[in-house]
Structure 1
Amino acid sequence: MGMKRMELLKTILLSTLVTLSLLLTWNVWSYQPASDPYDESETTVENVAIADERNSSELIQPSRFLVHGEVAVSGTSDETNINTLTSLMEEWNIYNVQQNYSFNEEEFQDIVHGSNRIEVLYPAEIPFSAYRDILNFENSSLPEDAFDRVVIDLSGQDDTPFTLYFVHYENRVIYEGRVDATHLEELNNQIVSGAATAYSPYFAHDTGERFIYLPVERREYLKYLYKMSTIDINLFRRALFQDPDAVTMNQFGASRDQYFDQSSNLMEVDRNNNTLSYVNPSAELSTVGRAGELFQKSRRFVNEHEGWVDTYYLYNLDAMDQEVTYRMHEQGLPVFNDNGAAEIYQEWGETRIHQYARSFLSKQVEIPVESDRVSIGSGYEAIEAIESIEDYEPERLQDVTVGYYMTKNSTDNTYTLDPVWYYKYNGSWARVPVIGGGDPVGLE
């Protein structure tokens, strides 16, 4: 009887072990690790690589620089010249950065536009925290502020440190720092000494609010024709939606598609203009934030899906409205398009992106153009045309530059880039009208 009880116990134990083993095997097979809670500050969900990542120095570039001599001013927006200057600046160590409070309006204009200095202009406000990624600062902490030009003062003694001024022109705010005199010789040799022959003569146009420096003479610019390729929209769908497989797509006619999910996130694709717009309606709108944080999160956001193509530079940074625009550039000049096909625009909420609008074009090949040189009027002619605009108010004029007007030629995705004058008026860019002909074409 004892033997039978023992056999029965063995059988029960064996059955239990088999059952337990089956349960454990089932748990291993069916086990899914708990995913990390979704970080709502990150929109990118899948690890999508569209094109490239970019660092701060690849996205921040001056629009031009001016060499103020004893009498004459020479200027250039040429990419090669700008790269020569910025390469020299990257070798510097900047120290003793502090705010300068001791100036009146006349002294302010002299600091920025006086003789014996190089004035380096940026198209957007540049936060100090982003500039630290480009130049070497010895200060452990830098101002929580931004500037739109750097002035290199060459008026001191050759053997003493020279001064850099970081200027926010509109707000009349100046910070200054020092650079060792050892860098002066190379700066004079490469930038200053040959300025009158290497660059174009510029004149100052006074709007009452600011001085805008423009070329004295007409100049020829190259015209470009590019065959463009388009980025696969599915890459953006995978990058921008939390659950790409749960996204519904509706077609509106032959050229407009809408993608949306249960969270009401919406991506609209315009195939005629090769642009897309993504909106996350649940992102709480933010009124004010720091310029440095805004720039860094806008850069990281595009880096997360490696969404940088061609040459895009920071062109507008608005910490008040939490808006950022990166603009396509050609040979150092900004490219504009009436339908947004030359820019990457972001609007941010408190922690998440609210709107992301961009081109999904990428340059494929340059096509030779028969008449590839275009003569552009002088700065005087540009100002005359601007002043002829109805209801023009001089103090609202903020900038004037030659840029490229990008237009689509047909359905084959070839685009022409024509050099024309642009002006920034009351916060918006537009083409300078031809005198006697029609209204200017507004952009942005």
Structure 2
Amino acid sequence: MIGLSFYLTYLIWVSPASHETSLEESLGNNRTEETSLKTKEEVFLPLKLRYQKEDTNQETQNEALLKAIQKELHQTTYSEGEVTTYSKQSDYQRATTMTSGMELFYAFSFPFNTYLELFDLSIPLVDDQEKTAAFSSVQVDFEEEKIRFLNNQELTVVEATLEDNLSNFSSEIEYANVKWVPLEKTRTFLENHYLTKDTLELKKYSYISSTQPYTMFRDAFFSNPKSVRSNSSVFDTYLYEGGNSLTIKQDQEIIQFQGQANTTRPFDIFLTSFDSIKKIGASYGSTRVIDQLDNAIDYRTFVEGFPIFGENHEAQIAFDFKESNESSAVRVTIQANLNSLQIPIPSEESVVLPSSQEVIETLYYKGLDTTLVESLLIGYQWKNLEDTGVVDLIPNWYIKYDNQWYRYEALFQLLAEEEEEAPNGF
């Protein structure tokens, strides 16, 4: 009944007439909203954490615990870091195997130097190798009191000694109010990966969504928001200032910014994109980086520690940078969606997901190339309920495969189509 009450109230306010008025008013508002800036620590959090205690492994995507662990990493003192690149997979595995500790995961290759700056970590550099080193996971070995930044593709490890007591790390983990998911290390399909072995039951969420005022994006993307001029057509609204422009497609509720990247320092894709992301208002939700490749970087809204995936840039702010031919300036294209989640609708529905081990096994027998699997995590699918303004968030497995994120069923369908197209005998 509470959910129905929210829903009926919402329909009154978003009837066609009131929606049109609201949109016109928001587009005519040139005042800058005062919002608290997002911090680097929340925007660049790892995606998940694995905790190992002897032969027991478990993982979580809990945002509060990830923040607490990242805070402890910031407050810890480290010895000089050393870089080692292994020529054999077996040697790399031996060097990175631990019996007690934790591992924090990203779904992309994170430059080591940039990571230190973003999280204000003080790990003295031994040589220039660290300046070009990159990693996809951070391992803290409780027994050997080491921190390791691991690059599984290049078999490279940046290692330093933790010079403080590690009890704070284990205390944060042991006493965290977290629903842990048991893991098993596999030796088939995805060798040496940790996968869930049991089915998982996760909540299904429903929200009333609303259209954000364009001023939030104007103030985040333009270097001089007060100098921005506007021009409207029947379907679109255009904002421009100098060589920068923001197009608001009202029918699709998509925005696209094109212009010069705002930066006062040498170009760094993480730091430069963060200059815009940090200004996005709190009403847009918890915004965190999920992916980065070449000149593109992708930020998404998270709910309860899980990323949201939509088909029309919902819950996404995507940056694409390129060098300008006319000058040394860097050009950028940014795409996002005006809609954001606002009022939760109480729901007792849940969805049962297969284990990640079953997911990988099923995809493997459908033709999955396991060498192209980069990451596997639980996310939520953004599903608009037509003509209601209500959004269902449905949990599912998401796989980063060959540099793209796929919902489990979508990847299965892609592999099935490739199987049908393949010549007989291959």
> 1:16-55 residue pairs with structure 2 within 5 A?
48-49=32-33, 51-55=35-39
Q: Structure 2: where are the runs of 5+ without partners?
A: 1-29, 324-328, 417-426
Q: Structure 1 residues 343 and 103 mapped into 2: Cα distance closer, same or farther (>3 Å)?
A: same
Shift of 1:153: 1.6
| Correspondent of 1:218 among 184, 191, 199 | 199
Distance 1:199 1:235 in 2: 37
Counterpart secondary structure, 1:338: coil
Shift of 1:218: 1.3
Contact persistence 2:216–2:281 (CA under 8 A): no
Q: Deviations over 1:118-155 (max 9, x none)?
A: 22112333333343342531527963443221111223
Shift of 1:316: 1.5
Corresponding residue for residue 279 of structure 1: 258
Corresponding residue for residue 315 of structure 2: 342
Q: Structure 1 residues 84 and 261 mapped into 2: Cα distance closer, same or farther (>3 Å)?
A: closer
Whether 1:183 and 2:165 are equivalent positions in the alignment is yes
Whether 1:70 and 2:39 are equivalent positions in the alignment is no
| Correspondent of 1:367 among 342, 345, 370 | 345
Q: Structure 1 residues 296 and 274 mapped into 2: Cα distance closer, same or farther (>3 Å)?
A: same
Corresponding residue for residue 7 of structure 1: none
Corresponding residue for residue 171 of structure 1: 154
Q: Deviations over 1:328-376 (max 9, x none)?
A: 111111111111112111112333442011122233211112x332222
Corresponding residue for residue 15 of structure 1: none
Shift of 1:81: 3.5
Counterpart secondary structure, 1:151: strand
Contact persistence 1:57–1:133 (CA under 8 A): yes
Corresponding residue for residue 301 of structure 1: 276
Corresponding residue for residue 423 of structure 1: 399
Counterpart secondary structure, 1:61: coil
Q: Deviations over 1:284-313 (max 9, x none)?
A: 9xxxx98x8211111113346768831111
Corresponding residue for residue 139 of structure 1: 124
Shift of 1:63: 1.4
Contact persistence 1:323–1:348 (CA under 8 A): yes
Structure 2 counterpart of 1:413, one-letter code: G
Structure 2 counterpart of 1:155, one-letter code: E
Q: Structure 1 residues 70 and 176 mapped into 2: Cα distance closer, same or farther (>3 Å)?
A: same
Distance 1:373 1:264 in 2: 48
Counterpart secondary structure, 1:251: coil
Structure 1 counterpart of 2:47, one-letter code: S
Counterpart secondary structure, 1:95: coil
Q: Deviations over 1:169-195 (max 9, x none)?
A: 222221111112x42233334436999
Contact persistence 1:64–1:75 (CA under 8 A): yes
| Correspondent of 1:269 among 248, 268, 273 | 248
Corresponding residue for residue 334 of structure 2: 356
Contact persistence 1:122–1:148 (CA under 8 A): yes
Q: TM-score, normalised by structure 1?
A: 0.72
Distance 2:228 2:51 in 1: 56
Larger radius of gyration: 1
Distance 1:247 1:198 in 2: 49
Structure 2 counterpart of 1:346, one-letter code: F
> 1:98-109 residue pairs with structure 2 within 5 A?
98-101=82-85, 104-109=88-93
Contact persistence 2:52–2:99 (CA under 8 A): yes
Contact persistence 1:53–1:308 (CA under 8 A): no
Q: Structure 1 residues 356 and 194 mapped into 2: Cα distance closer, same or farther (>3 Å)?
A: closer
Whether 1:153 and 2:129 are equivalent positions in the alignment is no
Shift of 1:382: 1.4
Contact persistence 2:49–2:103 (CA under 8 A): yes
Q: Structure 1: where are the runs of 5+ without partners?
A: 1-45, 157-161
Distance 2:241 2:299 in 1: 30
Decide which moves more: 335-344 or 298-307: 298-307
Whether 1:395 and 2:371 are equivalent positions in the alignment is yes
